[in-house]
Structure formats: structure tokens, C-alpha cells
Amino acid sequence: MNVAMGMVTRSRSRGLVAASQGGGEEPAPPRSREVAAGRKSHRSLKHQRKTERLHVAYEASSGEKGEGAEPLKVPIWAPQDWQQQLANIRTMRSKKDAPVDQLGAEHCYDPSAPPKVQRYQVLLSLMLSSQTKDQVTAGAMQRLLIRGLTVDSILQTDDSTLGKLIYPVGFWKSKVKFIKQTSAILQQHYDGDIPASVAELVALPGVGPKMAHLAMAVAWGTVSGIAVDTHVHRITNRLRWTKRATKTPEETRTALEEWLPRELWGEINGLLVGFGQQTCLPVHPRCQACLNQALCPAAQGL
């Protein structure tokens, strides 16, 4: 049995050598092998052609500079003509003579007081300013400052007296309660100072997002977001600075921060509040005197 296997092996070996040297004839392989080889060769050629036609583009990773590779760009929505509209508002506000320019939160504290006390006074003026004209807020702050406005002095003042001092600010009875509660929290948990984060500020009684962002900007010198009040909310909706109409100032803030360059966030509040006090009034806006009359969608309907 072994001898027979050896003979067959040697016979096949001699046949392969002879075929490679051009001598003798090698028996034809089975038809099935030929067909299989042909199919394999055909599939390989098809795969090669597909590979040659397929072009895959990859986004270059950070720090990687491939030849001819361009990073994928995500389109960012921005309102039409917003840059020209903003430039026109800056021109109209160049005199800085609106009430907010002289009586805003950055003007309602005692500059000679210690920094911690100044920050508390800024927060208090913002709490008083809600639903209240700047002139009325400034008057209330002046009366409080004359008595020495600190956390301790407010906590030692009875509710009735505090109410008389801040009247006639809007919702003055509620604000008496909020001021007392907030002052107690600041004394107990912040050593008489105010928090240095938006999250902690809005957790205080009577402090909303607009006040928190303004407090961060004025008291701490940090731009944490766009401070949106009724003026900013109204004007940006009139100019269509939001993708769709917004119903609340907080919705407006979120919509604006999605596209407005961050370096402009700190400017927008004071700029638009003064513009809303002088020109883009809540009722009967002075469109004839506005440089944006031809660019403002709301003006076209008036």
C-alpha cells in the first residue's frame, strides 16, 4: 500500500516537472475546478473595479492635516441683515442718553463700599428692577443707600420700613419678602457675599435668569449669557433675530445664544434696552426715526 502511494506521488511529481519544463502533457484538471477558478477570477475583477470606483471622504481629526482634506462645515443659521441692523442700532445709541445708561444696575451701588458689599447692592438693585422703570429703581436704591445698604442692615430692618423705602417699585410687597429671604441665605451660606455662578444665583428667592446674567457681568465681570428682559425679547422678535417667534425672554435667550457671536453677548442687553426705551417702544414704536425702518420686518407691517 505504501509502495503504491509512493509511485503515485512520484508520478505526479514527474508530471508537474515535465509540464513546467514544457515536456509531456499534463492531464486536464476537472471541469469543476476550471469553472470555480473562472468564477473566482471574475469576482476578483468585479471587486477590483468597484474598489477603483469607490471614493470615501473622511473628516480630518483635530490636529491632522491631510492633503486636500477639508473639515466638514455645519451651517449655522443667522438672521438676514443682522450685522447692518446691529450697526444701525449702535449708531442710534451712540449718545448713551437713555435711562438705562445713567440709572442701570452698574450705577446703583456705592463705589466706596467694600467689593463684597458692592456686589450685594448690585444684586439688590436687579431684584428691585423687575417690572419697574429705571428711574423708580434708582430712587429706591438711593433711599436704601442713605441708610447704609448691607446684608446686616437689611435683616435688621422691619418689613414695614423696608416696604416704605422701596415703594413704588413693581410688586414691592413680594420684593420685601424676597429681599429678606435672599439676604438671610447670603448671610448664612455666602458670608454676606453673592454667589459667583448663574445656577446659584437663580436659586435665590426673587432672582431670575436675566438678573443672574446681569449680576455675573456687573458684579463679577463675567459674561455668562445674554441678559434678556422685555425690551430685548420684544426687539429681537421684531427684527426676526430668532428662527421662529419666541414666547418668553428665556426662550429668546436660548435662541439668540445659538447664533449670536459670544463676543457680542455682553453688549446686547444695554444696547437694546436703551433702544427700546427711546425708539423701539412697546406701543407706537418710532419707526420713522429708526435707521432700520427698511430692514425691519415688523416696520413693514406698521
Which residues are tagged catalytic? 210
**Amino acid, single-letter form, for residue 147:** R
84: cell is 447692518
Span between the terminal Cα atoms of the chain, in Å: 110
Angle of the 115-129 helix axis to the 209-219 helix axis, nearest 10:
150
Enumerate helices (H) and strands (E) in the chain, giving the number of each: 15, 0
Q: Which grid cell is 182?
A: 435672599
Phi and psi (nearest 5°) for 160? -65, -45
| Closest of 173, 257, 186 to residue 215, by C-alpha | 186
Q: What are phi and psi of 48, to 5 degrees?
A: -65, -45
> In angstroms, rounded to a whole number, what is the distance separating the alpha carbons of residues 233 and 277?
13
Report CA dihedral (240, 243, 246, 248) to the nearest 10 degrees: -100
Residue 29 per-residue DSSP state: P
Grid cell locating 212 = 443672574
Cα separation, 86 vs 92, whole angstroms: 10
Q: Which residue has the cell 509512493?
A: 6
How far apart CA 202 and CA 215 sit, in angstroms, is: 11
